[in-house]
Amino acid sequence: MSFLTPDQPAQIEEPAAEIASGARLVPRITIQAFCEHSQTAQLVESAMHDRRMSKVALTTHNGGIDGAVETYKSNPTPNLIIVETTLSPAEIPSALGRLAEVCDASTRVIVLGHVNDVLLYRELIRSGISEYVVLPATSAEIVTSITDLYAAEGAAPIGRTIGFISAKGGAGSSTIAHNVAWAIATGLRQDCLIVDMDLPFGTAGLNFNQDPPHGLADAVLANQKVDQTMLDRLMSKAANHINLLTAPATLDHTWDFEEREFEQVIETCQKSVPVIVLDIPHCWNSWTRQTLASIDDVVIVAEPDLANLRNAKNMADTIKAMRPTDNTPKLVINKLGLPRRPEIGAGEFASSVECELVGQIGFDAQLFGTAANNGQMIAEVAANNKSNEVFSAIGMRVTGRQSAHTAAKSGSLLKLPSLFKKRA
């Protein structure tokens, strides 16, 4: 099936709101680039830092078109060749003709040129060149040229994937993730899948009062065998527009995973659901790093104290380094106003962490405790509570419906100790 569509309700429902789709990853291909200038080689190599290129194997060479021709006279061609040329528009077609003679028919070619000529572009496209990029260009333009080649014409959109993770255990990222998913499903009427990645201690089933017999563990243990049919069988319906891949929450064995263990499951989800909310546990290992590096948006949930600030700062800096060309992490401050606890102001906290503050949620033990014990969302327990507005605002932000802005209240910010400055 395409995007999950629940059974039609009795009354006519308003159409779903448009949201930003997720980034399409380039499949596992080999790329060889032949550059005439070192700056161009650096440009192509920098494009590999984009998370969309995480599966790509790239090698760069000197020599431009002539270097490529000499190489492929005695070597097989890769999936994609990128060649830089400084030739005049009149000379480029014949040079590429020599390259075509030594290339496999299935090999695609992107030309990086220094001449902005529409007639040349049209001629190259007619002759079978996949794309012509005018230099100077950005790494994002190179990546977009490549991703456009490998997105089938008329292909369905890719679901947007948002990960929630706590800066410190108990900060409440699971509660925030589940309530934001509820806000997206009810407010934007978009199908939303919650994936509880905390296999030994996950709470998605409890928070939605569900106890399905199957869930994420079955999908992961199936490894490469997981497909859309299997995913449909493993998901449980929690509410209109909301489905769950729950954690087994058992300790009969340890849950140790390889770096890309969840990759196939997430990619399958992206093909069928417009919004995927990942409830990522507070841990740090190879698969959490890989997951945080590969998704569309990361939301760090923290309490306003020093330990959370240190951890949030470390997380934010690491995530920014892992995904230099992508969205920076967003920040939610939870449990504000805890009685008798000294707190760091939300604006001061966000300024020190250097993240966009997208939400502040006050401490309300009665409300959140009642919702948790009843297996309900906050909107079900108290529809008019202000927290619901915060959840909706976060949902709007992470789905691309709301432009970037700072949710923190304006005011003078104090400098924090040098402990939280970036290390040289």
Query: Quick one: residue 318, left, alpha or beta (phi over 0 = left, psi -120 to 50 = alpha)?
Result: alpha
**Pair 115, 66: CB distance under 8 Å:** no
**Which of 118-132, 186-200, 347-361, 382-396 is the least confident region?**
118-132
Query: In terms of pLDDT, which residue wins out, 42 or 417?
Result: 42
Q: Does the structure show a pLDDT above 90 at 173?
A: yes
> Which residue did the predictor score with more confidence, 70 or 222?
70
Ranges of beta strands (E only) in 354-415 are 356-362
pLDDT of residue 395: 94
Structure-model confidence comparison of residues 337 and 55, the more confident one: 337
CA distance 42 to 57: 15
Q: Is the pLDDT of residue 5 over 70?
A: no
Is the pLDDT at 14 greater than 90, yes or no?
no
Which of 46-55, 130-139, 145-154, 345-354 is predicted with the least confidence, judged by mean pLDDT?
Answer: 145-154
- Predicted local distance difference test score (pLDDT) of residue 420: 40
State the average pLDDT over residues 98-125. Answer: 88
pLDDT-above-70 percentage for the chain: 89
pLDDT of residue 127 exceeding 80, the answer is yes
CA 54 to each of CA 46, 84, 147, 303: distance values in angstroms, whole numbers, following the listed order: 12, 23, 12, 33
Structure confidence at residue 16 (pLDDT): 65
- What pLDDT, on a 0 to 100 scale, did the predictor assign at position 220? 83
Q: What is the mean pLDDT of residues 296-316?
A: 96
Does the pLDDT of residue 232 top 80, yes or no? yes
